[in-house]
Structure 1
């Protein structure tokens, strides 16, 4: 079924209520078999480095699923592995290729009503770089969060982009291991 709303600049193809482009992106997220798995040290280290570069109390490596954001690596939010997708900051980041920065969420029109801003966390600063796969899908983010407003330097933002690229490289290595293990398992089954 096609959404042909003449007011929108594009018509999107939908299947079961999900845009086909989003369906492809979700398939890319799932091929790495990282969501709903125990935290992996590689992603926790990336989050740690991001937080250290920005000197923020919270940093995460996130994957944006259909209805939630899975934290593959996290520092500063103990016991949290997922958050809702809406009204998601990470979901906004994956709509673009550039680093997404909010210097003061208390006055930024994009975040005035956001629960992380109004709630207990008191988010004020947020910077995130999208994790882009080699085939062009934006899976999630490497992000940093602080409860005080601040400015980020161009060098810090570049570091965030490099960390996101490192996560993408790590995901490709993970995929090679997953596929190799599956091939070995099939080979063993065929021998018996």
Structure 2
């Protein structure tokens, strides 16, 4: 176990390694940085959605490293999680109408005040293969995504990964002084 405590000591070893990867970038619980904010903005612009985020999936919550369209929200519960579903797979996750999609019918963001209908997310993968979170776009109306939009979202997720690696180099260089 690392120097921090895991909430549940029965966490799968692969998930513990993924959580270690999330935490090595020291981004959770930090102020919004311009690079991630710009990426969230671009995701919303590409899909013309009112909400877009860059998220990191922690053990018990989803930390929004950047969020366009929701003020005052920096974290959400992990379960039932759309972002947590995305990091369980390699592909882009698309929900065109959440009110009709069996994966999302009972989700609180679908049934609640937000009325989420459209959700698209690309997993953020580290250079060593861990899926840390997502770049996503959200709307309250159903819609479809084009192949070009999905590819652009994947590029944005790769850009987040590149930013994270630069952040890690800076952390290591600063610690080495």
Flag whether TM exceeds 0.5 (same fold): yes
**1:33 is aligned to 2:26:** yes
CA distance in 1, matches of 2:9, 2:94: 33
2:96 aligned residue: 103
* More relative contact order, 1 or 2 (CA 8 Å, 6+ apart): 2
- 1:132-171 → structure 2 map (5 Å cutoff): 132-171=125-164
Aligned to 1:180: 173
The reply on whether 1:66 has 2:59 as its aligned counterpart is yes
Q: Deviation per CA, 1:24-43: give whole Å up to 9, x if none.
A: 00000000000011111110
The match for 2:3 is none
Give the gaps of 5 or more residues in structure 1.
Answer: 1-14, 185-192
Separation in 2, partners of 1:88, 1:82: 12
- Which residue does the alignment assign to 1:124? 117
Specify the SS of the correspondent of 2:110. Answer: helix
| TM-score using structure 1 length | 0.88
Cα distance, 1:156 vs structure 2: 0.2
Q: Deviations over 1:87-142 (max 9, x none)?
A: 00000000001000000000000000000000010000000000000100000000
| Residue 16 of structure 1, CA deviation | 1.7
The residue number in structure 2 matching 1:3 is none
Find the aligned partners of 1:123 and 1:16 in 2 and give their Cα distance: 34
Pick the structure with greater CA Rg: 1
Deviations, residues 56-81 of structure 1 (Å, cap 9, x unaligned) = 00000000000000000110011100
Q: Residues of 1 paired with 2:120 and 2:9: CA distance?
A: 33
Question: What stretches of structure 1 move > 6 A for 4+ residues in a row?
Answer: none
Determine the C-alpha separation between the residues in 2 that align with 1:180 and 1:70: 25
The separation in 2 between residues aligned to 1:16 and 1:174, in whole angstroms, is: 29
